[in-house]
């Protein structure tokens, strides 16, 4: 039996693999990646590397074995039919008879179109009959701390979320939850709504940046249309992705990402990472 992680060389996947390596022997871990290049360090540590692509069904033939525990990390190609991509992995897992199929999904309260693919994937997993776990990951601290350059250049945090609040957590926190599910018992057929312990607003985010940088940084809330134009213009994002992210801003304003029920902290056995800690780490880097 192996613990199989797809998207293993991505930002979340690497945290999951690192967490697993602390808990189980490397030979029990299979990392699924698109190329050997990004996985050579994992192979050197004894992790089994399998090359497969969500867009190429044949690459998943025979990848899983009976009894495997699988973590499907959702794809990030928003323009390529993510549900169909996910079904490729799901079909291979069902054919093999895996013991558990875990999936990184979206918060149940999120109404933005970004969540549609996650709902479609969850429905397919339920229909498959496999023992499942839905890890409904909330927003990541890094969604904001990894793009601080324009903020520090303009001394302005620009969002379209009004006074909305975000109960975010660090990527490593969500990875730790996945590890807990993959190595633990009693998680079959459960759905976990995961979020940070504390919700914060963007005025607070700007204030914390000001405190840590010694500069006066303000929060500016702009209309959704203006925010979308910033994403496509200044940030150079594709229009469909910019539209999806703008929808999330409106969802934040409506409180859809502000829930703090403590599920993530209970699952990982420790407090989640405060946004201030992630800001400090980003500024240090």
| pLDDT tens sequence across 189-245 | 999 999 999 999 999 999 999 999 999 999 999 999 999 999 998 778 888 889 989
pLDDT above 70 for 248: yes
Q: Are residues 57 and 157 in the same domain?
A: no
Evaluate whether residue 59 is within a structural domain. yes
Q: Are residues 118 and 144 in the same domain?
A: no
The chain-wide mean pLDDT, for the chain, equals: 95
Choose among 227, 182, 167: nearest CA to 13.
182
Evaluate whether residue 174 is within a structural domain. no
User: Among 89, 121, 137, which residue terminates a domain?
Assistant: 137
Evaluate whether residue 180 is within a structural domain. no
Q: Are residues 154 and 109 in the same domain?
A: no
Q: Are residues 81 and 153 in the same domain?
A: no
Q: Are residues 126 and 144 in the same domain?
A: no
Q: Are residues 210 and 87 in the same domain?
A: no
Q: Are residues 143 and 33 in the same domain?
A: no
Q: Are residues 103 and 66 in the same domain?
A: yes
Q: Are residues 9 and 77 in the same domain?
A: yes
Share of the chain above pLDDT 90, in %: 89
Residue 79's pLDDT is 59
Q: Are residues 93 and 147 in the same domain?
A: no
Average pLDDT over residues 159-166: 97
Residue 241's pLDDT is 84
Evaluate whether residue 191 is within a structural domain. no
Q: Are residues 12 and 126 in the same domain?
A: yes
Evaluate whether residue 235 is within a structural domain. yes
Long-range contacts of 77-85 (CB under 8 A, 24+ apart): 78/117, 78/240, 78/241, 78/244, 79/238, 79/240, 80/55, 82/117, 82/121, 83/117, 83/120, 83/121, 83/124, 85/54, 85/55
Domain count across the chain: 2
Evaluate whether residue 187 is within a structural domain. no
Residue 240's pLDDT is 85
Q: Give the model confidence (pLDDT) of 53-97 as tens digits.
A: 988 999 999 999 999 999 999 987 665 588 999 999 999 999 999
pLDDT above 90 for 43: yes
CATH number, domain of 125, equals 3.40.50.720
Q: Are residues 146 and 275 in the same domain?
A: yes
pLDDT above 80 for 139: yes
Q: What's the domain range around 48?
A: 3-137
Choose among 137, 106, 138: nearest CA to 122.
106
């Amino acid at each position: 039996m192996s613990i199989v992680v797809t998207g293993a060389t991505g930002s979340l996947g690497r945290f999951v693999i690192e967490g697993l390596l602390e808990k189980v022997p490397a030979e029990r871990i299979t990392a699924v990646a698109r190329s050997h290049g990004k996985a050579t360090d994992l192979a050197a540590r004894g992790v089994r590397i399998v090359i497969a692509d969500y867009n190429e069904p044949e690459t998943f033939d025979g990848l899983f074995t009976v009894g495997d525990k699988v973590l499907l990390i959702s794809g990030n190609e928003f323009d390529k039919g993510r549900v169909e991509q996910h079904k490729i992995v799901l079909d291979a897992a069902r054919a093999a008879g895996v013991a558990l199929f875990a999936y990184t999904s979206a918060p149940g309260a999120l109404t933005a179109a970004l969540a549609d693919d996650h709902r479609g994937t969850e429905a397919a997993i339920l229909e498959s009959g496999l023992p499942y776990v839905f890890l409904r990951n909330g927003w990541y601290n890094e969604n904001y701390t990894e793009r601080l350059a324009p903020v520090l250049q303009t001394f302005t945090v620009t969002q379209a979320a009004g006074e909305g609040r975000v109960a975010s957590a660090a990527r490593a926190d969500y990875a730790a939850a996945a590890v807990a599910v993959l190595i633990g018992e009693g998680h079959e057929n459960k759905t976990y709504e995961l979020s940070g312990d504390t919700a914060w607003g963007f005025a607070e985010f700007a204030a914390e940046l000001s405190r840590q940088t010694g500069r006066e940084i303000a929060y500016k809330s702009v209309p959704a249309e203006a925010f979308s134009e910033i994403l496509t213009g200044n940030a150079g994002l594709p229009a469909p992705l910019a539209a999806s992210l703008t929808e999330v801003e409106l969802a934040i304003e409506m409180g859809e990402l502000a829930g703090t029920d403590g599920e993530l902290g209970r699952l990982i056995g420790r407090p989640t990472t405060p946004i201030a800690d992630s800001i400090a780490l980003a500024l240090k880097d």
